[in-house]
Amino acid sequence: MSERAIRRKQSWMRSHSEGFGPIKQVGIASSIGFPLLVVGALMLVIAFAAIGSWLWIVAGGLLALGILAGLSHRII
């Protein structure tokens, strides 16, 4: 009992969409958490030179949101 060989289509007969695999879901940690974490950390570096405390508050909030989103392990 031999299995039939799988025949491949010629490249000129193949559809362009056959090359793409299934769509993978993107996690909140990588799509939202990491950018917020980077922006918050960069704003904290800038806040060292700034006098206003509002920049510290905004940078700390963004950093905290980035950490929370990164630790959530949720998928969009």
pLDDT tens across 7-60, in order? 665 655 555 555 566 666 777 777 888 888 889 888 888 888 877 788 888 888
Backbone φ, ψ for residue 71 (5° rounding):
-85, -5
Cβ atoms of 17 and 40 within 8 Å: the answer is no
Q: What is the pLDDT of residue 53?
A: 82
* pLDDT band of 76, cuts 50, 70, 90: low
Q: What is the pLDDT of residue 54?
A: 86
User: Is 33 exposed, middle or buried (CB count within 10 Å of its CB: 0-12, 13-18, 19+)?
Assistant: buried
Whether this prediction's pTM lies above 0.75 is answered by no
Closest C-alpha among 34, 13, 24 to residue 75: 24
